[in-house]
């Protein structure tokens, strides 16, 4: 399919499934190198629902033992300029003393990962890293700078692909809850 329609919007093919799989291969090579020989298996923290498909791909490529847990958060605009997140579900495993790898579908403004890192640290996680399928570096930089945070200090440690500030659907990503099921990734048609 070259274009798909989700609700009222048309999206055009953007990232082919095969190219996405190669990018996931590469990021998992890095995880495998960094987590080889871990004494205690890290927890892969799948952020629902967007990271479901990415989590499944990552799990199949890991050469080290890992456990899986889920978390669902929702963002809100709080009294702080950065806004915040609240946990709607999970984390479904106790993270106290654990090494956690947050698996995200996409890092856009950075609000979610900045808050999720501190939420998990607050629950006693020993170490928190972020592995995201897609990363929008321009949006990330602009938004964190606007809220007075240093983008370099909050970068995701691992990402499979960088993309410009386009709105996309597919491979787990939704537009108002639909469009997650496509094996390829589509961007909003201008
Ligand atoms: P952030 O907090 O702005 O970094 O955004 C993180 C969340 O926003 C992701 O987990 C996605 O659920 C959603 N999101 C950001 N960009 C897109 C997009 O292009 N398509 C669909 N969802 C997106
Ligand atoms: Mg979403």
Cα atoms in the 13 Å half-sphere on the side-chain side of 74: 3
Write down how long the chain is: 190
- Contact 22/59 with Cβ under 8 angstroms? no
Q: What DSSP designation does 137 have?
A: H
pLDDT at residue number 80: 47
- Over residues 98-153, the pLDDT tens digits come to 999 999 999 999 999 999 999 999 999 999 999 999 999 999 999 999 999 999 99
Atom 17 of ligand 1: nearest residue by CA position: 167
High-pLDDT (> 70) share of the chain, %: 96
71 pocket-lining for ligand 1 (C-beta < 6 Å):
no
The per-residue pLDDT of the chain, averaged, comes to: 94
Q: Please work out whether the CB of residue 185 comes within 6 Å of at least one atom of ligand 1.
A: no
The answer, yes or no, to whether any atom of ligand 1 lies below 6 A from the CB of 6, is: no
- Gap from CA of 37 to ligand 1 centroid (Å): 33
Q: Is 108 a catalytic residue?
A: yes
> pTM of the prediction?
0.96
DSSP assignment of 154-168 equals H--SEEEEE--S--E
**Predicted confidence (pLDDT) per residue in 66-110, tens digit:** 999 999 998 765 444 456 788 889 899 999 999 999 999 999 999
- Angstrom distance (rounded) from CA 110 to CA 120: 16
User: Which ligand 1 atom lies nearest to the CA of residue 107?
Assistant: 4
Token reading at 148: 């007075």
Q: How far away, in angstroms, is 134 Cα from ligand 1 center?
A: 10
Sheet holding 185-188, edge to edge: 3-6, 9-15, 185-188, 168-169
Cβ of 144 less than 6 Å from ligand 1: no
For a pocket test of ligand 1, which of 105, 131, 168, 175 has the largest count of ligand atoms closer than 8 A to its C-beta? Answer: 105
The reply to whether ligand 1 has any atom less than 6 angstroms from the CB of 103 is no
Task: Give the sign of the dihedral formed by CA 144, CA 148, CA 150, CA 153.
Answer: negative
Instruction: Answer whether 185's CB lies under 8 Å from 14's CB.
Output: yes
């Amino acid at each position: 399919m070259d274009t798909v329609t989700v609700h009222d919007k048309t999206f055009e093919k953007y990232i082919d499934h095969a190219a996405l799989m190669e990018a996931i291969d590469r990021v998992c090579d890095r995880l495998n190198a960094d987590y080889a020989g871990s004494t205690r298996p890290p927890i892969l923290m799948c952020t629902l629902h967007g990271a479901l498909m990415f989590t499944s791909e990552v799990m199949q490529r890991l050469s080290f033992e890992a456990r899986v847990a889920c978390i669902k958060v929702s963002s809100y605009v709080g009294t702080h300029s950065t806004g915040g997140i609240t946990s709607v579900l999970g984390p479904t495993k106790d993270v106290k003393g654990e090494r956690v790898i947050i698996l995200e579908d996409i890092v856009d403004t950075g609000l979610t990962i900045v808050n999720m890192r501190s939420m998990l640290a607050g629950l006693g996680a020993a170490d928190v890293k972020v592995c995201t399928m897609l990363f929008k570096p321009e949006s990330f930089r602009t938004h964190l700078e606007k809220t007075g945070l240093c983008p370099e200090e909050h970068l995701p440690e691992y990402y499979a692909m960088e993309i410009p500030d386009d709105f996309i659907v597919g491979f787990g990503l939704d537009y108002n809850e639909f469009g997650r099921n496509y094996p390829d990734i589509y961007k909003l048609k201008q």
